[in-house]
Structure 1
């Protein structure tokens, strides 16, 4: 369904349930006002509730299949069509109710029918106005979220730029092919940091970006940098925000490998468990007196803000120490995206 249309999908159980509950609360309030001696006029409540529920359900049954066509109309035209459908439905049921409650010859009670139609029109307009304002608010929230995510993502600037440029410069004369490959890897990394329109990408694209980064660092660190990859099968299209895993790998090298004269191992692991996918990045802890994890804390805060904005409480980012190993764990909801980042299923 078209998310740009202000009327929600009334075919969904949740939307229909909310309409039914709201209408029953209105009927209950009217029955309390109608009561003369007791708190509630139960006879009036029963009759009005039956009338409102039948008209509501039949109106929804007419509007729901027409939603794709209504979405193509201007707001005023779509509102007019919906109001006409509801009034026609109320008019038909009012005539039917009048014949049931007042059998025999005689003209219908047009005054009572007119009041029902007027009340139905006012109620429909109020509900549609609420839908419109709610839709406008959701559109604003989505725009603010996109701006917030773009702002967070644009702040991710790999701090290995100058080291990489120096490495590339030293390779130009001795190994021009490797220098060219490094330039291509570096350009792809910065192209990813500027591609702020994507909210979710397949995991395999993020892993490819990590590999490009690691290829550049391997030129500078040589045998000091060792890698272990453990990626479970079937996770190639797992949805992940862009530049989420790469900064974690970058910090693992910057804080865990670079300060150590002997280097160390960076381990990257991805596995599924239940409704979630877990990504782990492990590296040695810095030796005493060497670089700590202040910069790592900044990267974690940035990624935490992004996954919370996209997934809410279902996504978790945490870090831990076990012996000499520092581990960052990222938990994401298990869902798939295509190559363009469109969600396929959850």
Structure 2
């Protein structure tokens, strides 16, 4: 029968990650030590009791006596079983799916048996009389419910794991799409400097190597803001060699935001767009203003540049870059993250809003 349950869940006789030990985070049963999980279990079990009470009654809508006794029995069984599974969670997480399932079922059935015997002794105090048929029915019902609940937990865990894997692949793909855009431009800049200014070209190669290193680290979903700003400064150093005095940069960065979490290569493409669309086409150049500040629970990153010319090809490229950044922000932060762009007078502004979050030290 338990072999059939392995087939039912699609589980194999191996831990979830293929190792001998699995962290409790990877365990398919949710953490029953949490109040929310216990509350949901109690509400679900109470709804089940209500249905049985409605079906049980022969007159009226519900048998309240039956509802009260069964509710007391089910709630105590649910709470004690959840407490035992909570205490054994770390040990269960190191087992295979089948073995942990067997142990959980055994815990619940033993708990139901103990409370059934106690309830039978209280409700039927005659010595030597035990209603084994009623107890067997309770055990069978408990077995079916536990198997259905564990099946649901397992499918939820598999769905969540698949969703996280797809999210990681999606983020890596989105990050990869923006790499060639600035790397090839930088290579062209360095190539133009080799013959006339070799020392500056060598310095630009060092800056470009850091950009390459950052673009190839697709495993980093979030990095400290300080690292992103360093990449931006290296990129601006390369562009300054190409544009000279035509490119002016105005930095306004509030202190204390060095460890703010930000997706890698988020601010840099915005600065590149500002130069490509707002500075490069203008013979007189212009100023790129980069302002970073914190207000309340959010961090705001603003990039301003002179209003770009109405070039459809350039405008389409700008939309693609903004769409990529927006997709990455939504994937990592959800609704709190916002990207907006606007025209006001002769200034084009892109603003990012990120929720305050500290990046892990790397």
Q: Which of 82, 85, 97 is 1:63 aligned to?
A: 85
CA deviation vs aligned residue, 1:33-56 (integer Å, no higher than 9, x gap): 101111111111111111111111
CA 298–288 in structure 1, closer or farther in 2 if over 3 Å, else same: closer
1:92 to partner: Cα distance: 1.4
Are 2:309 and 1:300 aligned? no
Q: Is residue 2:38 matched to residue 1:16?
A: yes
Offset of 1:200 from its aligned partner?
Answer: 1.2
Q: Which residue of 2 aligns with 1:2?
A: 24
Superposed, 1:1-346 pairs within 5 Å as 2-287=24-309, 293-340=315-362
Report if aligned partners of 2:109, 2:139 keep a CA contact under 8 Å in 1: yes
- SS state of the match for residue 314, structure 1? coil
Q: Which runs of 5+ in 1 are unaligned?
A: 341-346
Matched residue SS, 2:30: coil
Whole-angstrom distance in 1 between the partners of 2:208 and 2:202: 10
Secondary structure of 2:181's counterpart equals coil
Partners of 1:319 and 1:172 in 2: how far apart? 37
| CA–CA distance in structure 2, aligned partners of residues 171 and 99 of structure 1 | 93
- Worse overlay, 186-195 or 281-290: 281-290
> Comparing 2-11 with 243-252, which one deviates more in the overlay?
2-11
When the two chains are superposed, the root-mean-square deviation of aligned CA atoms in Å is 1.8
For residue 210 of structure 1, report the CA deviation from its aligned partner.
Answer: 0.9
Pair 1:133–1:278, CA change in 2 (3 A):
same
**Displacement after TM superposition at 1:287 (Å):** 4.6
Look up the SS of the partner of 2:361 in the other structure: coil
Aligned to 1:92, the other structure's residue is in SS state: helix
Is the Cα–Cα contact under 8 Å of residues 253 and 266 in structure 1 kept in the other structure? yes
Q: Report SS of the residue matched to 2:257.
A: coil
Q: 1:161 to 1:59 in 2, by over 3 A?
A: closer
- Deviation string 1:46-75 (CA, Å, 9 cap, x unpaired) is 111111111111111111121111111000
Count of aligned pairs between the two proteins:
340
SS of 1:293's equivalent in the other structure is helix
Q: CA deviation at 1:103?
A: 2.6
> What stretches of structure 1 move > 4 A for 4+ residues in a row?
160-163, 287-292
CA distance in 1, matches of 2:222, 2:188: 33
CA deviations 1:205-238 (Å, max 9, x no partner) are 1111111111110111111111122222221111
Aligned equivalents of 2:347 and 2:209: distance in 1?
A: 32
How much does 1:184 deviate?
Answer: 1.9
SS of residue matched to 2:178: coil
For the residues of structure 2 that align with 1:265 and 1:11, how far apart are their CA atoms?
56
Structure 2: any 5+ residue segments left out of the alignment?
A: 1-22
Q: TM-score, normalised by structure 1?
A: 0.93
Of 57-66 and 172-181, the range deviating more from structure 2: 172-181
Aligned to 1:336, the other structure's residue is in SS state: coil
Provide the C-alpha distance between the structure 2 equivalents of 1:321 and 1:314, rounded to a whole number of angstroms: 23
Distance 1:125 1:183 in 2: 61
Q: Which TM-score applies when normalising by structure 2? A: 0.89
Q: Distance in 2 between matches of 1:11 and 1:289?
A: 59
Residues 255, 291 of structure 1: 8 Å contact kept: no
Distance 1:289 1:121 in 2: 68
3-state secondary structure, aligned to 1:278: strand
1:188 is displaced (CA, Å) by: 2.1
